Structure 1
């Protein structure tokens, strides 16, 4: 009797998940930047891809240094991924210099996918991640092509000179950001006193997202995580208000489970739904 080899069961058709591209800096400590973006994307069920614009030496205590990649390397990464694989949404983070902002804006301004711009100016520890001369380039080149801009209050002031000290000032901040060109502005009010409130508007519609203030200092990577979560939900077809609402729910859970790492500020927990 001839022995037959076992036959594998017919496999179901495998579908490709939505793709999201992050263009940002690498965080060697793994809590923010490219690393946080890709963890967020995996947690939310999309395929994450990356264009690394800068490399940081970074840990729980701060940023010890950063080095920009040459603009031709950034453009080559963008052309490689978008030309072959494509993306249903794109998120930008740390871009560091005018030439990198210009390079990224030139490519993404011609690419037909929602763009979430996190205008990173400083790290969680207060270290500068954007050259002063790049602020104007961010204003005039990248924000005008953004679907959603997600500045915190310090970044609002850096970009518009509008200083917000109470919740009633959030709308003025959003209007100032909208004047720079993005379709939607999400102003993150977590640094205000009282319960955290973020405001989202396109100039006509307005949505406020409130959350409990959590007693946890380990919040490294919050901004990167939120912007990546918004991009992930846009990639699966959610509209902007729904994407922001779902992203806020995810990041609030991640902050609640943020854990100590090293001797300083630990990261939010991107895998909180699995633990």
Structure 2
């Protein structure tokens, strides 16, 4: 391997795209499919944001197919890759860190330790703090766990305390708060959400609600419970039936993109819901392939 320069500036002229990186996205990557980073990154591109994408695992295809192969990144590699990004100067202007699928419980500690040190160094250098948004990708009601169930406690222990916000679905909220999912209805749902918020988060968005808040979401709607600044809101949006995976990745990335570009959390949730619905409609047979702007 040939090294051109020991100074990051001496190597940056080799980059085809020299724009500042806006978002550091950490999560899964597939060779073929629209989940994880594959689903999230187009949302950042559509919003005019540049990203750095760090895979925690690489899969050939979704694990639902007859044949699938994967390679999980080690904690050591993940930490080293993050250090490389810092040394290159790529993260100097990052405005948000997005953390999604982690296949190994140890990854949570690696990312949390790196983020805490990196953010502290930014503040010491007079730069603004970069929020960390956690999409605690554990699974869903239909499939169950996507990864090692031990990842849930690791997220709660290591990443929730340093995260700015989190975007769990009901399955993930249940496992992060150690409550049966059957209890996440009405006041039980509100209590679980508030308990997770007390772990250090500034805000929380619980996605994919249908009838969990005592009929306050109609049959043709889907809802998001938004907790921020002491307030609780239920946002309602048109429901687009789909069995596709990666919907949560699209929603969270669209929400992150709006937060980076400016706007309140509620505005970001509404934008993300609209764009996710558009994304689902456009993916249906016979739909237009024209790209949609964030």
Within 1, Cα distance between the matches of 2:190 and 2:49? 32
Aligned equivalent of 1:222: 247
Aligned equivalent of 1:89: 96
> Any unmatched runs of 5+ in structure 2?
1-16, 120-128, 213-218
Structure with the larger RCO, 1 or 2 (CA within 8 Å, 6+ apart): 1
* 2:140–2:172 CA contact under 8 A, matched in 1: no
* 1:170–1:187 CA contact under 8 A, matched in 2: no
Q: 1:98-117 counterparts in 2 under 5 A? A: 98-110=105-117, 111=119, 112-117=129-134
Q: Identify the range of structure 1 (118-127 vs 48-57) with the bigger mean alpha-carbon deviation.
A: 118-127
Does 2:264 correspond to 1:239? yes
**TM-score, normalised relative to structure 1:** 0.80
* 1:32–1:224 CA contact under 8 A, matched in 2: yes
Aligned equivalent of 1:78: 82
Aligned equivalent of 2:22: 19
Secondary structure at 1:116's aligned position in 2? strand
Secondary structure at 2:292's aligned position in 1? coil
- Which residue of 31, 35, 41 maps to 1:32? 35
Q: 1:1-275 counterparts in 2 under 5 A? A: 16=19, 19-59=22-62, 61=64, 64-83=68-87, 84-86=89-91, 87-110=94-117, 111=119, 112-122=129-139, 126=143, 128-162=145-179, 163=181, 164=183, 166=185, 169-190=188-209, 192=211, 194=219, 195-202=221-228, 204-215=230-241, 217-259=242-284, 272-273=291-292
* 2:97–2:133 CA contact under 8 A, matched in 1: yes
Indicate the RMSD between aligned Cα atoms, in angstroms. Answer: 2.9
Structure 1 residue 190 displacement after superposition: 3.6
* 2:223–2:234 CA contact under 8 A, matched in 1: yes
Structure 1 residue 78 displacement after superposition: 1.8
Aligned equivalent of 1:8: none
* 1:33–1:224 CA contact under 8 A, matched in 2: yes
Within 2, Cα distance between the matches of 1:25 and 1:199? 26
Q: Identify the range of structure 1 (109-118 vs 62-71) with the bigger mean alpha-carbon deviation.
A: 62-71
Q: Deviations over 1:106-152 (max 9, x none)?
A: 11233231111000012797263331222221101101111110000
Within 1, Cα distance between the matches of 2:111 and 2:240? 35
Q: Alpha carbons of 1:80 and 1:246: their partners in 2 closer, same or farther (altered >3 Å)?
A: farther
Q: How many residues align?
A: 253
Structure 1 residue 234 displacement after superposition: 2.0
* 2:108–2:155 CA contact under 8 A, matched in 1: yes
Q: Deviations over 1:14-58 (max 9, x none)?
A: 994661111001123230111112111111211121111111232
Within 1, Cα distance between the matches of 2:25 and 2:58? 14
* 1:90–1:115 CA contact under 8 A, matched in 2: yes
* 1:218–1:259 CA contact under 8 A, matched in 2: no
* 2:26–2:99 CA contact under 8 A, matched in 1: yes
Within 1, Cα distance between the matches of 2:136 and 2:256? 14
Structure 1 residue 227 displacement after superposition: 1.4
* 1:90–1:231 CA contact under 8 A, matched in 2: no
Secondary structure at 1:120's aligned position in 2? coil
**TM-score, normalised relative to structure 2:** 0.76
Within 2, Cα distance between the matches of 1:272 and 1:218? 22
Structure 1 residue 218 displacement after superposition: 4.8
